[in-house]
Amino acid sequence: MRYDRQWSFHNPVKVTFGPGITSALAAPASCERGAYFTSPGFTERGLTDKLAALFSGCNLDIIDDVRPNPGITDVEAYRARLQGRGIQFVVGVGGGSVLDTAKALSYLLSIEDPGFSLRTHFNDKESLPDNRPLPLIAVPTTAGTGSEVTPFATIWDMAEKKKHSLARPDLFPAAALLDPELTLTLPREITVTTALDVLSHALESVWNHNANPVTIGLAARAIDIFLSTLPCLLDDPQNLDYRSKMLTASLFGGLAISSTRTALAHSISYPVTAVLGAPHGLACGFTLPALLEFNLQGDQEGHLEATASMAGCGSAGALAEKIRAVFKEAGVGELMARYEMTKQNILKLAPEMFTPERAGNNMRAPDLQDLERILSASSL
């Protein structure tokens, strides 16, 4: 791997990590009214009231019906509900869907023009008004998304089976609070699929035209933690140290893609999620070993070999084998069967899998035949 290249890395999110750290939740200075986004499950477990109580002396509008894979209609409805209520800051407590929703609203609530439509922006590629997003506090409750440290949010158009990305250089959250205690009760399937998202972010940032020594260092550490921790965590899901390691790996993966963005595995994932309903991490994780082998052929600068070595695997080939072994142990094949990710179902989606802004980041450009080979090698 060569280091004599020009590169830059910027991430302005103030990250605080630690068991119980969410007890430090508070409104930003001089803010009196906020919008608090979370999922119904979080409220059912009594955690919404507990965390909302920390914002003493502050008025909170609590939105606890955020659904997985938020749609344009959902975020526009939240905007209509909250507009004019004097919201000064936004809090998101949840997985990737909640954080992306909160992030989208931190921007949309800064726009007073009632004529602005997010749908028109996405459909007509209309430019975004130059409004500064409201301060956002992001609290991930899964170890996978990395959204707490990125400047983009995934928003779906489910009617069109299409995924959009709301992205702005100033869309980073102001603060991220990472409390591994919040991940202790995650069920096995979510633990596995979100961990697959961690690995996807790490690898996607390496086989990426925008990779640099900082992102590769972060990615290698995330891969190392994923490989050594996931099997132990599945055997002992209440282990706070394992949960802390996976949340740290998730942070590292998020930091890496905050600079590089994602690549082909994510591009492949969108129709798999939209059509088959596969969870995001599973949809972008199942192709990783085959994609690693594909990209190895175009890795002029030796990024993958360097990453494998830093992750303690010796060679990129050995890394692919190790990933396959961990997938087997984690039951990835069984999960794929649950979402009917058969060769036939997956290959049908191949023509929809080239999202230019994602696939274009990939270090080796695939044609449709390459893609079909990767998919055939990866699906059931």
Q: Looking at beta carbons only, is 179 or 197 nearer to Fe ion?
A: 197
Question: At 89, is the secondary structure helix, strand, or coil?
Answer: strand
Minimum separation from the CB atom of position 83 to Fe ion (A): 30
Q: Looking at beta carbons only, is 197 or 299 nearer to Fe ion?
A: 197
Q: Looking at beta carbons only, is 179 or 204 nearer to Fe ion?
A: 204
Residue nearest to Fe ion (CB): 197
Q: Looking at beta carbons only, is 64 or 197 nearer to Fe ion?
A: 197
* Tokens read off for 238: 């209440």
Reported as type and span, the H/E element at residue 33 is strand 33-38
CA–CA dist 221, 228 (Å, integer): 11
Q: Looking at beta carbons only, is 134 or 153 nearer to Fe ion?
A: 153
Is-contact 54 25, C-beta < 8 A? yes
Minimum separation from the CB atom of position 142 to Fe ion (A): 11
Cα–Cα distance list, 144 to 16, 194, 298, 339, 360 (Å): 17, 4, 27, 20, 23
User: Which of the residues 176 through 235 are near Fe ion (CB under 5 A)?
Assistant: 197
Minimum separation from the CB atom of position 96 to Fe ion (A): 7
Binding mask 361-380 for Fe ion (x = CB under 5 A): --------------------
Minimum separation from the CB atom of position 285 to Fe ion (A): 9
Q: Looking at beta carbons only, is 197 or 224 nearer to Fe ion?
A: 197
Tell me phi and psi for residue 60, to 5 degrees. -120, 130
Q: 157-164: which pairs have CB atoms within 8 A and are 24 or more residues apart?
A: 157/71, 157/72, 157/119, 157/122, 158/69, 158/71, 158/274, 161/271, 161/274, 161/275, 161/352, 162/270, 162/274, 163/270, 163/273, 163/274, 163/355, 164/72, 164/122
Q: Looking at beta carbons only, is 244 or 250 nearer to Fe ion?
A: 250
CA–CA dist 340, 332 (Å, integer): 12
CA–CA dist 129, 168 (Å, integer): 11
List beta partners, residue 38. Answer: 93
Q: Looking at beta carbons only, is 136 or 263 nearer to Fe ion?
A: 263
Minimum separation from the CB atom of position 186 to Fe ion (A): 17
Q: Looking at beta carbons only, is 197 or 305 nearer to Fe ion?
A: 197
Minimum separation from the CB atom of position 219 to Fe ion (A): 13
Count CB atoms within 10 A of the CB of residue 151: 22
CA–CA dist 248, 146 (Å, integer): 10
Binding mask 34-73 for Fe ion (x = CB under 5 A): ----------------------------------------
CA–CA dist 100, 354 (Å, integer): 22
Contacts with Fe ion by CB under 5 A: the residue count is 1
Amino acid at residue number 109:
L
Minimum separation from the CB atom of position 287 to Fe ion (A): 13
Minimum separation from the CB atom of position 201 to Fe ion (A): 6
Work out whether 148 is an interface residue with Fe ion (CB under 5 A): no
Minimum separation from the CB atom of position 53 to Fe ion (A): 32
Is-contact 225 205, C-beta < 8 A? no
> Interface with Fe ion by CB under 5 A: which residues?
197
